Amino acid sequence: MKAMKTTLATVTLCLVLLMATGFPLEKKGGSSSGSAGKEKRVQYAGWDDVNVIAHGLLQLGQGLKEHVDKTKVQMRDISTKLKVFNRTVAELGKESQKLRVEGDALKARAHGLEDREGQLLNVTAELREKAEEMQQERRTMKERMSLLEERVDSMLQGDAVVLDTSAGAKNNSDAQNIQLMMEAQNKRVDDLVERIRLQQEKLDKQNVRIRTLQTQVQQSRQRASPRGSDTDAQSGLSEQSDSPVEMATDCHELFLRGETTSGVYTIQPINAEPFKVFCEITADGGWTVIQRRQDGSVDFDQLWQAYKKGFGALDGEFWLGLENIHSIAKDGGYILNIKLSDWSDDLVSIDLPFHLGGEETKYSLKIQKADTFSLLESSLGTDTTSGQPFSTSDQDNDQKKDTNCANHLSGGWWFSNCGPSNLNGRYFQTPPPKQRHQRKQSIFWKTWRGRYYPLKSSRMMIAPAAILKKA
If DSSP states are collapsed to H, E and C, what string results for the chain? CHHHHHHHHHHHHHHHHHHHHHCCCCCCCCCHHHHHCCCCCCCCCCHHHHHHHHHHHHHHHHHHHHHHHHHHHHHHHHHHHHHHHHHHHHHHHHHHHHHHHHHHHHHHHHHHHHHHHHHHHHHHHHHHHHHHHHHHHHHHHHHHHHHHHHHHHHHHCCCCCCCCHHHHHHHHHHHHHHHHHHHHHHHHHHHHHHHHHHHHHHHHHHHHHHHHHHHHHHHHHHHCCCCCHHHHHHHHHHHHHHCHHHCCCCHHHHHHCCCCCCEEEEECCCCCCCEEEEEEECCCCEEEEEEEECCCCCCCCCCHHHHHHCEECCCCCEECCHHHHHHHHCCCCEEEEEEEECCCCCEEEEEEEEEECCHHHCCCEEECCCCCCCCCCHHHHHHHCCCECCEECCECCCCCCCCCHHHHCCCCECCCCCCCEECCCECCCCCCCCCHHHHCCECEEHHHHECCCCCCEEEEEEEECHHHHHC
- Do you find a cis peptide bond into 431, omega within 30 degrees of 0? yes
The pTM for the full model equals: 0.52
Supply the pLDDT for residue 226: 47
Q: How far apart are CA 318 and CA 302, in angstroms?
A: 12
Supply the pLDDT for residue 171: 58
Supply the pLDDT for residue 138: 73
Would strands 275-281 and 311-312 be described as parallel, antiparallel, or unpaired?
unpaired
Supply the pLDDT for residue 11: 56
Q: How far apart are CA 427 and CA 403, in angstroms?
A: 22
Supply the pLDDT for residue 113: 76
Supply the pLDDT for residue 218: 59
Supply the pLDDT for residue 308: 97
The answer to whether 251 and 264 have CB atoms below 8 angstroms apart is no
- pLDDT tens track of the chain, all 471 residues? 555 555 555 656 655 555 555 544 444 444 444 444 445 555 566 788 788 888 888 888 888 888 888 899 999 989 899 998 988 898 998 888 988 888 888 888 777 777 777 777 777 777 777 777 777 777 777 787 777 777 767 766 654 444 444 555 555 676 677 777 777 777 777 777 677 766 666 665 566 566 556 555 655 565 554 444 444 434 433 333 444 447 899 999 999 998 999 999 999 999 999 999 999 999 989 999 999 999 999 999 999 999 999 999 999 999 999 999 999 999 889 999 999 999 999 999 999 999 999 999 999 999 988 789 999 999 999 989 999 999 999 999 999 988 999 999 999 999 999 989 999 999 998 788 888 888 999 999 999 999 899 999 999 999 999 888 655
Q: Using N-to-C axis directions, what is the helix angle for 47-156 and 2-22, rounded to 10°?
A: 160
Per the DSSP assignment, residues forming a β-bridge with 148 are none
Supply the pLDDT for residue 45: 62
